[in-house]
Structure 1
Amino acid sequence: MLLFSRTDRDRPRESAPSPLRRRGGLICALDVGTTKVACFIARAGEEDRTLRVLGIGHHRSMGVRGGRVANLDEVEAAIRTAVDSAEEMAEERIDGVVVAVSGGAPESQRIDVEMMVAGHEIRDADVRRILACGRQQPSDPDRELLHCIPVGYTIDGTDGVLDPRGMYGERLGARMHLVSAAAGPLRNLSTVIERCHLDVDSRVAAPYAAGLASLVEDERELGATVIDMGGGTTSVGVFLGGHVIHVGVIPIGGGHITNDIAQGLSTPLANAERLKTMYGSTLASPADTRETLKVPLVGEDEEQPSLDIPRSYLVQIIRPRVEETLELVRAHLEAAGVDRVAGRRAVLTGGASQLPGVRELAEQILDKQVRPGRPLRLRGLAEGVAGPAFATCAGLLRHAVQDHVERPMLADPPRPGGLFGPVERIGRWLKENF
């Protein structure tokens, strides 16, 4: 069995053969959340793109607040522990990760781009050029672009074109979905990962990843809303026509429910989390008034008598916060104009979505058909990590093996000038156009 310690990770790495699928088809997904850090290592099939999970590691997250890095040392320690556990289980060494982004207030922007193609056959180079135009659109200098996703093409003003290559026309247009996030939180996240001596191969918006993992093909095509209820944030992703068309983040999560319980009952945070996990619910029942819970008080000795409360009182604390979260989700979708675009289907992921009664409450507030989401189409995934809490991490693996049309390669990497520089440029032009 291969073991990789902190010292092993400090050694120089060998160069990787590709940015997302490294040697032997290995992919590593890293989800740095407010309550946990999760790491999946998987191997992708060369032909059918099947994914088999080889290693799993997760650790309690420290130093993250609302999806943002708040303490570099604490986050670094949590990442190293989770990655080392996954490497030990997989008996593999990883050098780079695909990481989820929930901090930095991810935002969506939809733009239309058009360019002339002079009536010739549309080639790969034309598609790359129009995608490059979308990525070069002016934006806030304090934000960084995460995704540039083409959701449809037009030829001479006629829309509904899924793939324009091989077709003819005078004007090629593209409708694009741009996803950006604040630069500061992104750089902090990259910095702490680099301190673990890992490369950031790709950054993926958390709701986008959760949808890739938990939605079936028909839901992505016909329309569905993914609501990822994490510890510090609740992320929203809207899918339609096979693409994600909107993402957003609301700064409320399961940790706020824990804080409400701790403050309302004057109990330590650790005990509040235990009460939420074991007895929490958003639905009241007649038996709640008869069931009594023992609640230790903050600052009291263990020998002191604890407070006895009916379970119904715990439900009265939890339900308003969950209602507020779901009402903010509804308001966000309405403000973005996508509340009805993607139909009446919603999927709940994230650890906070596992509270009893959240599904029923979501159906009532959102006026949608709601189901719980969990990772799909992954082999070798242990039952303990196959629930909604790990959907985002699983979706990062799916993102790594899909066609990355949203990140086009504009050209070959620039090379030093010299005698053969112009010859190589002419050769590339001939190859693309003839």
Structure 2
Amino acid sequence: MTMMLFSRSERDTPRESAPSPLRRRGGLIAALDVGTTKVACFIARADDDGSVPRLLGIGHHRSRGVRGGRVASPDEVEVAIRTALESAEDMAGERVDGVVVAVTGGAPESQRIDVEMDVSGHEVRDADVRRILSCVGQHPLEADRELIHCIPVGYTLDGTDSILDPRGMYGERLGARIHLVAAASGPLRNLTSVIERCKLDVDGLVAAPYAAGLASLVEDERDLGATVIDMGGGTTSVAVFLGGHVIHVGVIGVGGGHVTNDIAQGLSTPLANAERLKTMYGGTLASPADAREILRVPLVGEDEDQPSLEIPRSYLVQIIQPRVEETLELVRAHLEAAGVDRIAGRRAVLTGGASQLPGVRELAEQILDKQVRPGRPMRLRGLADSVAGPAFATCAGLLSHAVQDHVERPILDDPPRAGGVLGPVSRIGRWLKENF
């Protein structure tokens, strides 16, 4: 999971009324990626004109207590978040507070709906766009799910479709095609609780593969169509972009950690050594030289002075390849079931730490029948080489998300209040604010 944080001089002082969560005072923004294998924090500053953010601080720490994108041990997650956050704050010389969480846990799912309303022939204004997004409230979610995104992917006006921005146009009926993303409430509440224990506020939610796509896709890929596959430690998440918008997201419960477990079980070696073997010698495609390269593998429970197991590197590849193939086949099946496998074209971009295994790109091209490239963070100034790889795409994408002007949550009316004379007054005030 991933989070975005914003500045405040003293974390424990009372909170004042703040501007929009995506634009805090001073332009200071930060991203915190809480994954199964690592916690990473970026702190950056964006200018008022919404230009590319400039990176100020970096912090990362080994993640503990997260399983499959869900909080499994709140105490361990809290320690990891605090450590990574403090390292980034010390480098940046700033304090951060409010968070926007990028979700992989809770099985985020997409739904597309069409809504329409009467605008009576007048000019379409900001208030009309807000009202049509609030029509999402007429399509209730399941009781145990929470809305993450409400993204308009296109508008219609009197039957004319393919309108990108209807404001300033005239018509009788305004329609919108909206992409909704919702996730299970329980995992979100658990993560929110840990964040609050770190003296941080939760200002919103962002789907992790959506953020990864914002960081790694060029403009033509977002317009013409591309699939982002974010291969993390506990999950593999997917985002499909088309026409400049994200039109589908989903999460598959298999990631790089499953490869590590397969190695540990197959070779009877400790998990730490299995991760080392995967990182240093792992791969997904066999070569003739693999049989001649011998690896020493310590066994679980054996003393250091005991003889190690010796295996050819080809045996390690034989363990890794089936799991990576299974992961990519699950991605393909997910895209086909959602009906988005072909509409976004034949372009795919790989992000996430598990995508860095040698041969993953070639294997993805074979299984997905797409042109595949590695995705690296873009649109961020001052990015060090050590954090410029696919594993940090989500952090960078959250920074890009923060400086964009977009409406991705419905603005619903306030709940009715019982009695009193202020009810009609507040309704009149809201009408004046929306129309003048």
Q: Calculate the TM-score normalised by the size of structure 2.
A: 0.94
Runs ≥4 residues deviating over 6 A: 411-421
Q: 2:288 aligns with which of 286, 289, 292?
A: 286
CA distance in 2, matches of 1:97, 1:13: 16
AA aligned opposite 1:406: E
Residue 155 of structure 1 corresponds to 157
Does 216-225 or 42-51 show the bigger shift? Answer: 42-51
CA distance in 1, matches of 2:416, 2:199: 26
Q: CA deviation at 1:418?
A: 8.6
CA distance in 1, matches of 2:12, 2:246: 39
Q: CA deviation at 1:430?
A: 4.0
Q: 2:236 aligns with which of 230, 234, 237?
A: 234
| Structure 1 position 25 matched with structure 2 position 27 | yes
1:312-323 to structure 2, matched below 5 A, reads: 312-323=314-325
Q: SS of the residue aligned with 1:261?
A: helix
Q: 2:174 aligns with which of 172, 175, 180?
A: 172
Q: CA deviation at 1:419?
A: 8.0
Q: 1:220 aligns with which of 214, 219, 222?
A: 222
AA aligned opposite 1:352: A
Q: CA deviation at 1:17?
A: 3.1
Q: SS of the residue aligned with 1:95?
A: strand
Residue 345 of structure 1 corresponds to 347
Whether the aligned pair in 2 keeps the contact of 1:98 and 1:400 (CA below 8 Å) is no
Residue 204 of structure 1 corresponds to 206
Q: 1:80 aligns with which of 74, 82, 106?
A: 82
Q: SS of the residue aligned with 1:45?
A: coil
Residue 382 of structure 1 corresponds to 384
CA distance in 1, matches of 2:429, 2:204: 30
Whether the aligned pair in 2 keeps the contact of 1:225 and 1:347 (CA below 8 Å) is yes
Whether the aligned pair in 1 keeps the contact of 2:136 and 2:410 (CA below 8 Å) is no
Q: CA deviation at 1:180?
A: 0.3
State the Cα deviation string for residues 253-297 of structure 1 (Å, max 9, x = none).
000000000000000000000000000000111100000000000
Q: SS of the residue aligned with 2:170?
A: coil
1:18-417 to structure 2, matched below 5 A, reads: 18=19, 19-409=21-411
CA distance in 2, matches of 1:319, 1:216: 30
State the Cα deviation string for residues 334-375 of structure 1 (Å, max 9, x = none).
000000010000000000000000000000000000000010
Does 18-27 or 231-240 show the bigger shift? Answer: 18-27
Q: SS of the residue aligned with 2:233?
A: coil
Residue 5 of structure 1 corresponds to none
CA distance in 2, matches of 1:14, 1:405: 24
Residue 12 of structure 1 corresponds to 13
CA distance in 2, matches of 1:428, 1:139: 26
CA distance in 1, matches of 2:94, 2:416: 33
CA distance in 2, matches of 1:106, 1:239: 16
State the Cα deviation string for residues 22-65 of structure 1 (Å, max 9, x = none).
23111121111000111111111111432011111111110000
Whether the aligned pair in 1 keeps the contact of 2:50 and 2:403 (CA below 8 Å) is no
Q: CA deviation at 1:15?
A: 2.6
AA aligned opposite 2:192: S
**Measured at CA, do residues 433 and 99 of structure 1 come closer, stay the same or move farther in structure 2, by a change above 3 Å?**
closer
Name the count of aligned residue pairs. 427
Q: SS of the residue aligned with 2:123?
A: coil
Whether the aligned pair in 2 keeps the contact of 1:13 and 1:95 (CA below 8 Å) is no
Q: CA deviation at 1:115?
A: 1.0
CA distance in 1, matches of 2:382, 2:365: 32
AA aligned opposite 2:280: M
AA aligned opposite 1:95: D
Whether the aligned pair in 2 keeps the contact of 1:225 and 1:237 (CA below 8 Å) is yes
Q: SS of the residue aligned with 2:96?
A: coil
CA distance in 1, matches of 2:71, 2:420: 45
Q: CA deviation at 1:70?
A: 0.4
Q: CA deviation at 1:416?
A: 12
Q: CA deviation at 1:20?
A: 2.5
AA aligned opposite 2:13: P
Q: CA deviation at 1:398?
A: 1.0
CA distance in 2, matches of 1:135, 1:311: 56
CA distance in 2, matches of 1:304, 1:414: 73
CA distance in 2, matches of 1:303, 1:231: 32
CA distance in 2, matches of 1:144, 1:13: 28
- Residue identity (%): 82
Q: SS of the residue aligned with 2:377?
A: coil
Whether the aligned pair in 1 keeps the contact of 2:133 and 2:411 (CA below 8 Å) is no
Q: SS of the residue aligned with 1:96?
A: strand
Q: CA deviation at 1:138?
A: 1.3
CA distance in 1, matches of 2:200, 2:183: 21
Q: CA deviation at 1:417?
A: 10
CA distance in 1, matches of 2:15, 2:108: 33
Q: SS of the residue aligned with 1:188?
A: helix
CA distance in 2, matches of 1:413, 1:123: 24
CA distance in 2, matches of 1:414, 1:16: 22
CA distance in 2, matches of 1:56, 1:79: 13
**Measured at CA, do residues 9 and 69 of structure 1 come closer, stay the same or move farther in structure 2, by a change above 3 Å?**
farther
AA aligned opposite 1:150: P
CA distance in 1, matches of 2:200, 2:417: 26
State the Cα deviation string for residues 224-273 of structure 1 (Å, max 9, x = none).
00000000000000000000000000000000000000000000000000
Does 69-78 or 401-410 show the bigger shift? Answer: 401-410
CA distance in 1, matches of 2:130, 2:139: 15
CA distance in 2, matches of 1:392, 1:293: 34
Q: SS of the residue aligned with 2:36?
A: coil
**Measured at CA, do residues 10 and 153 of structure 1 come closer, stay the same or move farther in structure 2, by a change above 3 Å?**
closer
Whether the aligned pair in 2 keeps the contact of 1:280 and 1:318 (CA below 8 Å) is yes
Q: CA deviation at 1:383?
A: 1.0
